[in-house]
Structure formats: structure tokens, C-alpha cells
Chain A
Amino acid sequence: MRGFGDLEAVVMDRMWRRGGETTVREVLEDLQSQREIAYTTVMSTMDNLHRKGWLSRKRQGKAFLYWPSLTREQYSARLMRDALDGGGNPSLVLSHFLDQMSDVEAATLRTAFQRAAAEEETR
């Protein structure tokens, strides 16, 4: 699962964990404790993330200060809204393990399961 393309995910993970404003250098040092990685790689990744809207930044002296544009929770909420509210984006193709159910349907499902379980016991 953790391929090269996942560097963006790793950097975002770090950014959310740190909280507040961060320089490329600080993220680099953070990552270097776990893997061999070059300054330019981290810099271009963070630049990409900025371009795609995940990170905001402002100039401070010669370097940039970066911070997450939205919290992880805000992104999660947005994704869940897309995933669960079918009307939001009809061109999104997902396969849910379970579609949303009404209370009645959930109750019927439970009854069906209990009946099956009871039948199994009497056998």
C-alpha cells in the first residue's frame, strides 16, 4: 500500500500531527528519523500539496511556512458526504459494503438474522 506516490499522504499525516505552521526543513527532519529522503523531494511534494490545495503557505524570509488548509476531520467529513450522499455527485462510482437503510429495514434485517440463527440451533 505504501508506494512512492504515497509520499503526499505521509507528508500530510506529519503536517496534521504537528499542527501549526511548519517549514520544509522541519518536515524533512521529522521524516529523516524514519527514512532516507532528500530535501528537494520533500520540498517538491509540499509544493505539489500547496498547488492542489491541501497546504496553505506564506513566505517567511527565504523559506515558506506551510500549514494544512483544512483539518483531517474536515476532509474526512467532506469525503463521507460525497460517499454517502448519492445525489451529491452522480458520477462517483463506489461500492458500499452496505447501503444506508431506514430503521424499518434495519429492524427487518435483524429479525431475519435472528430467525436464521434460531433455525440453525433447532437443527
Chain B
Amino acid sequence: MSVAACLLLYSFTAAVLAPRLLVRLTHAGVAPQLGVLAWLAAIASVVASWATAAAFLVGELVTDWNQPGRSVVSACLAQLRAVAAGNYGLAVQLGLLALTTLAAAALAVLLGRLGKSLLRARTSTHEHARMARIAGRRVEGLDAVVLDAPQRAAYCVAGRPHTIVVTSAALAALDQRHLDAVLAHERAHLAGRHHLVLAVTRGLAAILPRIKLFTTGAAEVARLLEMCADDAAARQHGARTVLRALLTLSGAAPIPTGALGATGVGVLARAERLAAPPRPARRLRTRLLLGGFAVLIAAGPLLTGGLAASGLSFCGPM
């Protein structure tokens, strides 16, 4: 019981503190790859501690059921029995059974929903890619399909095979160098399997919208992945070319869909860091902090569980 309780306490603390700390460390995009890693480590850490806590609860219950008098729960029950001096032992045990079942069921539902949302994402994304490949035109020497559309847009869709889509308006606006930079950016997304990361983080955020670690995490990871792809394109074609391409595609009149503004903020940060890359000293400091954070939070559930199990933790045997 104490291990499970400590893990839940840990996950609660991590879910509250991690997003605040990480936003501060990653928002400027100084080390985007490490930033993504740190966010994913934090998210995985919380989910893993839930799973471990549920496993421990179930384990405790099973041991307790089979060998009364051995586990912490039994000790607790014995105390309660002594206090209540009635036949409350069974009631408490049944309560514990209900609690454990509830926790395990909640976890199963969560994982089931996540799996479903991943499958849904895969289906609609592959379908979009397939449609784009049929409706899009092929241009000789261009590693993308061209959709006839008045909006300037370029994006990539995972599918079989993966597909990069460029609109005819974007194609007309970009010259060859800038187009190459845009394609390099999209290829970096596909090569890095960013769509899988996005599907998981967005899925979690949609299932548990109240947990800030997941919602903020999904948005920040998306931003950081754009920056990673920018860096990959900049390595090949130069930061200024990527910046020029960003500017060219943003020059069009915004599309009136009512969804404006919410997502565009990331573009400014991307442009700023392409225009003025962070200094080496700052980069090193951010890397060290993020690396340390990632290691610590990845080891978090293990440390908490270990401390609780050995009884050294402040949680103590409960």
C-alpha cells in the first residue's frame, strides 16, 4: 500500500511541477531535441508511476488474500480490527478490493482509450495521405504531390507511403531554394517519426484534458518538433533560407477559418531563433539542465518505489 501511495503522490507532484519547470526550460527552443526528450520523459514517468502503483495495489491484495498476516495491509487491518473490535476486517478488505479494482479499471480504460485514439489517428491520417496522392498532381523532380488550392500551405502526412503535400499557391510563391528548405523540413518530420510522437501526446491530452502536464506537454512538444525540423532544414540549406521560406508562406492573407491565432504563436519563436541562434554558453546550460531533468524524472518512479519499499521514504509504511 505504501509503495502505491508514494507513487501516486510522486506522480501528482511531477504532474504539477514538471510543466512549469519545462515550459521555462524549453519555450525558447534552445535545445529542441533534448526538450522533446525531457517532456516525453516527464509524461512517461507519470503514466509509468500510475501503472506501477496499480500493479502494486493488485499485488498487495493478492498476497494479502492468500497469506493473511504478512503484508502491510494485513498489519493495517489488524490494527483496525483491534480498534473496531468488531468484524470490520472483511469490510475494509472489501473496500480495498473495490479501490484496487477501480484503480486497475481506470488504468485499463485510459490505455484502451489511448489505443483507440492512436488507431483513429492512423486511419484518418493514412486516408488523408491516400486521397492527397490521388487528387494531387505530380510535378517532375518534385518529391511531393501538388494540390490545386489558393492557400499557401505545405505539410506532411504519414501513410503508406508517407506523403508531402504542397499547394499550387505555395509552389508559385516559393523559389527553388526555399522550396527545397520546406521539403527538407517536412522530410525531417517524416524521418524522425514525429507523427507518432504527436499522436501519443495529443491522444493523452485529449483523454485527460485536466492534467496540465499532458495538455501543455502536447502543445510544447508540437512546437519543439517544428523547431527540430527547422534545424534539420537549416543544416542543409542555411537558417536564412528556412527563415525566408517561413516568411514567404506567411505572406499570404490568413485563411478565414475562425481558428486563427491559437497556433501561430510558435512561428514567431521559430523565426526568432532562426534569425538569432542562442549563444553557445546558453545552449550548454540549457542542455545540462534539460538532461539532468530528463534523467531525474525518468528515474523518479523507480526512486520513489524503491524508497517506499525500503521504508526510508517520508511516506513511511501506511
Residues of A within 8 A of B (CB): 1-3, 5-6, 8-9, 12-13, 54, 72-73, 75-80, 82-87, 89-103, 105-106, 108-110, 112-113, 115-116, 119
B260 and A100: CB pair below 8 A?
Answer: yes
Residues of B within 8 A of A (CB): 117, 120-121, 123-125, 128, 131-138, 143, 147-149, 151, 153-158, 160-161, 165, 167, 182, 185-186, 189, 194-195, 198-199, 202, 206, 225-226, 229, 243-247, 249-251, 254-255, 257, 259-261, 263-268, 271-272, 275-276
Which residues from B are CB-within-8-Å of A84? Answer: 151, 153, 255, 257
B147 and A98: CB pair below 8 A?
Answer: no
Q: What's the minimum C-beta distance from B314 to chain A, rounded to whole angstroms?
A: 42
Given contacts A79-B131, A95-B195, A98-B246, 14 further A-B contacts (CB under 8 A): A72-B135, A76-B148, A84-B255, A85-B257, A87-B259, A92-B128, A93-B121, A96-B153, A97-B153, A97-B154, A105-B264, A109-B246, A112-B271, A113-B244
A76 and B246: CB pair below 8 A?
Answer: no
Which residues from A are CB-within-8-Å of B260? Answer: 100-102
Q: What's the minimum C-beta distance from A44 to chain B, rounded to whole angstroms?
A: 16
Which residues from A are CB-within-8-Å of B156? Answer: 94-95
B154 and A102: CB pair below 8 A?
Answer: no
A73 and B254: CB pair below 8 A?
Answer: no
A75 and B135: CB pair below 8 A?
Answer: yes
Q: Taking chain A's interface residues, is the majority helix, strand, or loop, or is none over half, making it mixed?
A: helix
CB contact under 8 A between A91 and B117, given known A83-B155, A109-B247, A113-B247: yes
B261 and A89: CB pair below 8 A?
Answer: no
CB contact under 8 A between A96 and B155, given known A1-B143, A76-B147, A79-B131: yes
B134 contact from A54, A113, A119, Cβ within 8 A: A54
* B131 closest partner in A (C-beta): A79
B153 and A83: CB pair below 8 A?
Answer: yes
A98 and B151: CB pair below 8 A?
Answer: no
| Docked CA distance A102–B255 (Å) | 9
A99 contact from B135, B198, B202, B263, Cβ within 8 A: B263
Which residues from B are CB-within-8-Å of A90? Answer: 202, 206
A95 and B194: CB pair below 8 A?
Answer: yes
A100 and B263: CB pair below 8 A?
Answer: yes
Q: Which residue of B135, B206, B257, B276 has the most chain A CB atoms within 10 A of its CB atom?
A: B135
15 A-B pairs with C-beta separation under 8 A: A9-B138, A75-B131, A79-B165, A84-B257, A85-B259, A91-B120, A93-B195, A96-B154, A99-B267, A100-B259, A102-B261, A103-B254, A108-B268, A110-B247, A115-B275
